[in-house]
């Protein structure tokens, strides 16, 4: 049978037997089960401070399938004709139980263990994970991994970021000194008339990595304050080169 025929049959059955159009709602009986399932044992009995429930003494130590007589099996059970409703309830007009008083409470329940003793090789069952049993060891919480704050590129027109302060502590022992660590406070030379004049300590006139001279030169090249993105993208390309502005008005304006 094609799938759409089965879907049409399911839809028709839903609207014929489940849906109530007068009330604009659905009414159906369902069997709902949750997994994983656990059999109740003595380790799962309710405990509140020093108080213990009767099942702490009477519940089985291991999962035990109850033995039902044949008359209590679902397919064989027949309620007796003189069956009385539970204490505190009566049978209503529609056949359902209606509460009319408090239920029967036994103030002194028997705490004798009705279960047979366990074999010597069988230990009692452990409590169900996640319950309120004080014997349970709490699950360790996983460590929280905090991601570093992502850098935000400055907006056009923002002033360039301040230059990082030079380290004041003693120099790190051993190893060659990186260019950024050996950068001088001032960079030799100046920019005048569209050309760079003077000597420097590095190739070209862009300046060392992360220096104010590098930001100034990148700002001259792009015509706007150098942003973090400009330093990351254009800095490696222009570093080590000699950069200058040329008057090209004869070719259609300044560049």
DSSP-assigned beta bridge partners for residue 99:
89
pLDDT at 84 over 70: yes
Mean pLDDT, to the nearest integer, of 172-186? 46
Of residues 111 and 253, the one with the higher pLDDT is 111
What is the distance between the alpha carbons of residues 212 and 27, in angstroms, rounded to a whole number? 75
Mean pLDDT, to the nearest integer, of 188-208? 56
CA angle 21, 22, 23 (to 5 degrees): 90
pLDDT tier at 157, thresholds 50, 70, 90? confident
Residue 57: the pLDDT is: 92
Residue 177: the pLDDT is: 47
- Tell me the three state secondary structure of residue 196: strand
Asked if 224 and 191 touch (Cβ cutoff 8 Å), the reply is no
pLDDT tier at 202, thresholds 50, 70, 90? low
Asked if 214 and 235 touch (Cβ cutoff 8 Å), the reply is yes
């Amino acid at each position: 049978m094609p799938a759409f025929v089965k879907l049409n049959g399911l839809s028709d059955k839903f609207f014929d037997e489940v849906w109530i159009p007068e009330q604009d709602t659905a009414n159906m009986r369902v069997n709902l089960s949750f997994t994983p399932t656990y059999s109740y044992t003595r380790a799962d009995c309710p405990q509140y401070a020093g108080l213990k429930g009767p099942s702490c003494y009477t519940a089985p130590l291991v999962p035990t399938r109850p033995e039902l007589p044949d008359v209590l099996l679902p397919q064989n059970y027949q309620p007796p004709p003189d069956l009385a409703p539970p204490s505190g309830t009566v049978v209503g007009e529609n056949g359902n139980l209606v509460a009319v008083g408090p239920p029967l409470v036994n103030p002194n329940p028997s705490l004798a263990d009705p279960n047979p003793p366990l074999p010597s090789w069988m230990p009692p069952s452990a409590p169900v994970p996640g319950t309120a049993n004080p014997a349970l060891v709490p699950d360790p919480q996983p460590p929280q991994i905090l991601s570093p704050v992502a850098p935000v590129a400055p907006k056009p027109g923002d002033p360039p970021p301040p230059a990082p302060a030079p380290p004041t502590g003693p120099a790190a022992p051993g190893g060659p000194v990186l260019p950024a660590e050996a950068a001088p406070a001032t960079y030799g030379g100046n920019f005048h008339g569209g050309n760079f004049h003077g000597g420097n300590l590095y190739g070209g006139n862009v300046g060392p990595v992360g220096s104010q001279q590098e930001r100034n030169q990148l700002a001259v090249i792009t015509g706007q304050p150098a942003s973090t993105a400009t330093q990351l993208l254009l800095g490696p390309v222009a570093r080590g080169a000699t950069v200058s502005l040329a008057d090209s008005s004869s070719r259609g304006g300044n560049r």
